[in-house]
């Protein structure tokens, strides 16, 4: 491999329609002519095609819950999927490294956003989450949440090999991580209860006498998890352990020891964690 093109393709704009997979390939939008994921377990995946191949796909337009690769025969799941699969691993890399993924919908994909015929390029999406569940056909499936990217994303290839020169006057859009803090009364009270100390490591970040911590949900908010924004689903964590909880590096057992990592989470006498949410997180987020 060695090189892979992420982001917009010159000469192709959102809404463009292509007659068949070969035309998509020729345009540089999606290179494989059969596989749905342009998988690369080293550089990340740069494009996917939705074309009705997976019964568990959920397409809300700006947000897509996408089923990973593997175990599929004629549109039915007949075996478990694996995170080691090169397509799934590739999408995981794209998620953790913030790489844009080109999305194309085919006419066979059942959604109000599909084209009448051929393949329509739907623009750039970012992979925001991954999780695992038992699909409609009874097998474990790897799932990814993709969200549409509003701002234009510059072109780049994955394998530069040496340090690029960068830009002297990049503007704020070149930020590598944007952290939007939007507190709620509940998360504020949880953080106060713990004195802004991380429940896993005890770290508190202090900026001129003002403390910073993050409210972290155990069972995630939003579709398809639909976790609650309630005290027994909320933790006070440092940014590191928040990322690790969200990405499933560790889970929490019912006795508050950590799952898949050593340690124990501190829980205040006035606070308790919902065991069903802990179980959901262990089974769907903190996966092998």
Restricting to residues 36-95, name those near its own copies by CB under 8 A. 83, 89, 92-93, 95
**Nearest distance from residue 93's CB to its own copies, in Å?**
5
Write out the binding residues for its own copies, residues 140-169 only, by CB under 8 A: 153-154, 156-158, 160, 162-169
Size of the site for its own copies (CB under 8 A): 81
Residues 6+ apart with CB under 8 A from 160: none
Applying the rule CB under 8 A, the residues between 100 and 129 that interact with its own copies are 126
Q: Judged by CB under 8 A, which of 96, 110, 136, 202 binds its own copies?
A: 96
Nearer to its own copies by Cβ, of 34 and 178: the residue is 178
- Nearest to its own copies of 116, 210 (CB atom): 210
Helix (H) or strand (E) holding 252: strand 251-252
Indicate the residue among 31 and 201 with the shorter CB distance to its own copies: 201
Residues 8-37 that bind its own copies (CB under 8 A): none
Please give the backbone phi and psi of residue 214, each rounded to the nearest 5 degrees, phi first.
Answer: -125, 140
Per-residue x/- track, 234-263, its own copies (CB under 8 A): x---xxx-xxx--xxx--------------
CB of 186 to its own copies, least distance (A): 5
Nearer to its own copies, 16 or 147 (CB): 147
Say how far apart CA 200 and CA 266 lie, in whole Å: 7
* Binding residues for its own copies restricted to 175-234, rule: CB under 8 A: 175-191, 193, 203, 205-212, 214-217, 221-222, 226, 228-231, 233-234
**CB neighbour list of residue 243: distance below 8 Å, 6 or more residues apart:** 249
Pick the closest to residue 184 from 236, 223, 138, 144 (CA basis).
236
Nearest approach in angstroms of CB 126 to its own copies is 7
Sequence-distant (6+) residues with CB within 8 A of 256 are: 264, 265, 266, 267, 273
Residue 257 DSSP class: B
User: How many CB atoms are closer than 10 A to CB 246?
Assistant: 18
Distance between CA atoms of residues 233 and 220, nearest Å: 9
Binding test (CB under 8 A) with its own copies, winner from 97, 117, 202, 257: 97
Question: What is the rounded distance in angstroms from the CA atom of residue 287 to the CA atom of residue 251?
Answer: 9
């Amino acid at each position: 491999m060695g090189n892979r093109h992420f982001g917009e393709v010159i000469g192709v704009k959102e809404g463009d329609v292509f007659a068949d997979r070969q035309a998509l390939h020729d345009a540089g939008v999606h290179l494989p002519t059969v596989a749905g994921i342009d998988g690369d377990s080293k550089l990340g995946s740069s494009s996917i095609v939705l074309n009705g191949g997976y019964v568990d796909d959920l397409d809300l337009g700006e947000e897509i819950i996408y089923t990973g690769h593997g175990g599929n025969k004629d549109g039915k799941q007949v075996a478990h999927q694996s995170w080691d699969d090169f397509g799934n691993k590739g999408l995981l890399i794209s998620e953790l490294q913030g790489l844009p993924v080109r999305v194309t919908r085919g006419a066979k994909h059942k959604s109000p956003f599909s084209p009448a015929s051929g393949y329509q390029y739907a623009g750039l999406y970012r992979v925001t989450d991954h999780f695992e569940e038992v699909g409609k056909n009874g097998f474990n499936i790897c799932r990814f949440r993709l969200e549409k990217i509003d701002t234009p994303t510059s072109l780049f290839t994955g394998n530069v090999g040496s340090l690029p020169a960068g830009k002297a006057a990049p503007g704020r859009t070149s930020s590598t991580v944007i952290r939007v803090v939007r507190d709620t009364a509940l998360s504020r009270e949880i953080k106060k209860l713990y004195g802004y100390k991380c429940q896993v490591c005890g770290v508190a970040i202090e900026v001129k006498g003002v403390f910073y911590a993050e409210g972290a949900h155990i069972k995630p908010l939003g579709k398809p998890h639909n976790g609650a924004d309630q005290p027994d689903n909320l933790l006070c964590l440092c940014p590191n352990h928040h990322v690790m909880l969200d990405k499933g590096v560790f889970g929490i057992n019912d006795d508050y020891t950590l799952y898949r990592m050593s340690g124990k989470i501190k829980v205040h006498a006035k606070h308790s964690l919902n065991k069903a949410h802990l179980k959901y997180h262990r089974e769907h987020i903190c996966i092998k």
